[in-house]
Copies of this chain bind each other. A is one copy, B any other.
Amino acid sequence: MGNLLQEIRDNRPLWLLAMVPVLFIVDHLAPNAHTLLFVLSILAIFPLALLLSHSTEAVAGRMGDATGGLLNASLGNLTELVIALTALRAGEYALVKASIAGAIVTNTLFMLGASFLLGGLKHRVQEFNRVNARFQSSLLFVATVAILIPSAVTAADSIAMSTFTRQLSVGLSILLIVVYGLGLLFSLKTHKEIFGQQEEQGGEHAPLGAALATLAGATVLVALVSEIFVESVQQAAVSFGMTPAFVGFIIVALVGGAAEMASAFSGARKNRLDLSVGIALGSASQIALFVAPVLVLVSYFIGPTPMDLEFWPGAVVMIFLAAMTVVLVTAGGHSTWFVGVLLLMVYVILAMTLYLLPPQVQ
């Protein structure tokens, strides 16, 4: 506990944890102040995501290579998963899907673009391991393609059949989780040296008990905060003039990925781009191979009706272009600040499109 307090004291962003009780109080006193609750819940999720990420690493660090790696890999997107599960339970399927799509696009274009830009402003030309990057970007591309095939095929053929889409989504989800499991076997067991350099050494860790308690506590808090967030987001979006697609794609994705972004940016500044590329591509792959199928399967138990994996065509285009762009940009193993600007430009264009898009088409 002392460790946790010290960590909070040393780490400015964690001061925002004070927003968590504030949020709960405001929610109790003024449950209809949607805009305020929306802003407060974003401010509260951010430090919780950081805490979740730190404690996951701490627990993983104590658990030995294989189990720790498994934990780290599975809980890497825990914040996104908890937010999406809350939205799922509330039946907000459009928000869930937008946040899946947005997490892939944000992790690839924004996280990587900002890493390249921040790193490039400090270092003239940055190099990263091309073999690793290519391996991970192939994995990302294939994972993205896999998740998009049903949407792409049905969009191309202009069909909208719930039975077909639902059966396919379940089959696809099981397949993706099996492949995700094989991927863990590959990266943690048979070929772990390929992925060896991605994990940042976090210095001394908290003791296991404290770390586990922090992990559990932060998860519960994220879940509670997410509930307020999901309830307030749609109405707040309206009052800010934002479309639901924009909220799911951009806001939720940025909030949910804040912790990983902090690590990726810090890696880039320290000229350790392999770390940034690994986090960005790895996280995006994990969303496609693990988070998305888990949500589909879980929807059969906790959602009002089952959720399928069919994205709206514009989202398909965006995910596909983001994956393509990143694959091409990372193929060379070099980066400069302008490459970062280009990736961010694509991200801003997507955000602009979503912001201006009339709500009824999403």
Q: Of all chain B residues, which has the CB nearest A147?
A: B349
Contact of A134 among B125, B155, B332, B352 (CB under 8 A): B332
Among A220-228, A232-240, A275-283, A312-320, the stretch that binds chain B is: A312-320
Copies in the complex: 3
Cα distance A174–B331 in the bound complex, in angstroms: 29
The SS class assigned to the A binding surface is helix
Cα distance A298–B143 in the bound complex, in angstroms: 40
Q: Of all chain B residues, which has the CB nearest A321?
A: B145
Tell yes or no: A186 within 8 A of B by CB: yes
Given contacts A191-B338, A337-B190, whether A346 and B145 have CB atoms under 8 Å apart is: yes
Binary interface profile of A, 158-188, with partner B (CB < 8 Å = 1, else 0)?
A: 0101001001100110011001001100100
Tell yes or no: A142 within 8 A of B by CB: yes
In the complex, the answer to whether A138 meets B345 with C-beta atoms within 8 Å is no
Tell yes or no: A255 within 8 A of B by CB: no
In the complex, the answer to whether A332 meets B164 with C-beta atoms within 8 Å is no
Binary interface profile of A, 92-132, with partner B (CB < 8 Å = 1, else 0)?
A: 00000000000000000000000000000000110000110
Binary interface profile of A, 281-300, with partner B (CB < 8 Å = 1, else 0)?
A: 00000000000000000000
Given contacts A135-B334, A152-B317, A332-B134, whether A345 and B157 have CB atoms under 8 Å apart is: no
| Shortest distance from the beta carbon of A120 to any chain B beta carbon, whole Å | 9
Given contacts A168-B352, A183-B338, whether A156 and B314 have CB atoms under 8 Å apart is: yes
Query: What bracket does the count of chain A residues touching chain B fall in?
Result: 35 or more
A residues with CB within 8 A of B: 124-125, 130-131, 134-135, 137-139, 141-143, 145-146, 149-150, 152-157, 159, 161, 164, 167-168, 171-172, 175-176, 179, 182-183, 186, 190-191, 312-314, 316-318, 321, 324-325, 327-329, 331-332, 334, 336-339, 341-343, 345-346, 348-350, 352-353, 356-358, 361
Q: List 28 A-B contacts (CB under 8 A).
A: A130-B332, A131-B334, A135-B332, A135-B334, A142-B342, A142-B343, A145-B346, A149-B318, A149-B350, A153-B317, A153-B318, A153-B353, A154-B314, A157-B312, A157-B361, A159-B358, A161-B358, A164-B356, A164-B358, A167-B356, A168-B353, A168-B356, A171-B352, A172-B349, A175-B349, A175-B352, A182-B341, A186-B338
5 A-B pairs with the lowest CB-CB distances in the bound complex, closest first: A156-B313, A186-B338, A153-B314, A142-B342, A134-B332
